[in-house]
Amino acid sequence: MKQPDHLVIKNLCFSRNERLLFDNLCFEFERGKITAILGPSGIGKTTLLKLIGGQLPVDSGEIIFNGLAIHNCSEKQLYDARKKMGMLFQSGALFNELSVFENVAFPLREHCKLDESLLSILVLMKLEAVGLRGAKDLKPMELSGGMARRVALARAIALDPEMILYDEPFTGQDPISMNVLLNLVKQLNKTLGLTSIIVSHDVNEVLSIADNVYVLADKKIIAHGPADLLLEQTDNPLLQQFLHGQSDGPVPFHFQAEDFVVDLQKVNK
């Protein structure tokens, strides 16, 4: 049965430096489900997450989270809404000068007046959930990329959000870290009932855990639907090229240039 939508985006248009990134996009993110947004690099996937988080203003369109118009609300309403959102940044975005423990404790210290012992218990629980309780005294610089992302994930769920935004969570991970992260995303979604939005270009990994998928290309949504049905849309060459990683197709291998022979002749002249 379809769950009510947690986040709805209607007719979103956005441009940056006079370049149109999104042209009239519409999304529906079901409560408690994992929704993936796939697309090639540079298409603006991270920008989309920043728009959802209210970090960038939209050109036109609506972003409705829990009934609140994110694109058109007061700063206080936006900050209240963000307490219900967690975001895992691609780089982890951990605070360098703080230990792992203090990084995870940061949002709790900022927003909750908790007794130090209760705070410690909460932080240890979050770290245990991502398997890094033993690394609590390390500094971010001492962590591997995968570990840093897991700490960032523990920090993102510190305030028990309703929705979590993942920005390229699997990029640059070794197979073990990748698998650990995949299981964590799935497990957190299931046990905490989180609405999860993943933007990524790791097709196989994302399709293995996502309930719904949107594929972006050339400023538009070129396909959307349940993950298993997406693979069956063989009549869409752009989608097929992206899903199967073909080097040439509707997205050409060669960047637009004048004729190769003409170019070489110019060198001789």
Partner 1 sequence: MISAYLRFIGRFTLAFTQTVGRSGLMLWRTLWGRPHGKLLPLTIVQIFQLGILSLPIILTAGLFIGMVLSLQGYNVLVDYAAEESLGSMVALSLLRELGPVVTALLFAGRAGSALTAEIGLMQSTEQLASMEMMAVSPLKRVIAPRFLAGIVTLPILTLFFNVIAIWGGYLIGVSWKGVDGGAYWSVMQGSVEYLPDVFNGIIKSVVFAVMIAWVALYNGYYVVPNAQGISKATTQTVVVSSLLVLAMDFVLTVFMFGS
Nearer to partner 1, 93 or 238 (CB): 93
* Nearest approach, Cβ of residue 9 and partner 1 (Å): 17
Sign of CA dihedral 101, 102, 103, 108: positive
The CA-atom distances, in angstroms, between 180 and each of 71, 169, 170, 173, 241 are 35, 11, 10, 10, 28
* Nearest approach, Cβ of residue 110 and partner 1 (Å): 5
Residue count of the chain, please give it: 269
Give yes or no for a contact between 13 and 22, defined as CB atoms under 8 angstroms apart: yes
Phi and psi angles of residue 66, each rounded to the nearest 5 degrees, phi first: 55, 35
Tokens of 117: 């012992």
Nearer to partner 1, 165 or 206 (CB): 165
Tokens of 39: 């697309």
Nearer to partner 1, 39 or 54 (CB): 54
Give yes or no for a contact between 137 and 101, defined as CB atoms under 8 angstroms apart: yes
Q: Which residues bind partner 1 (CB under 8 A)?
A: 50, 53, 55, 79-80, 82-83, 85-87, 89-91, 93-96, 106-107, 110-111, 152, 155, 159
* Nearest approach, Cβ of residue 160 and partner 1 (Å): 13
Nearer to partner 1, 85 or 181 (CB): 85
* Nearest approach, Cβ of residue 230 and partner 1 (Å): 29
* Nearest approach, Cβ of residue 82 and partner 1 (Å): 4
Nearer to partner 1, 101 or 242 (CB): 101
Nearer to partner 1, 55 or 60 (CB): 55
Strands of 145-192, DSSP E: 163-167
The CA-atom distances, in angstroms, between 73 and each of 14, 70, 79, 109, 127 are 18, 6, 10, 26, 34
* Nearest approach, Cβ of residue 68 and partner 1 (Å): 14
Beta bridge partners of 175: none
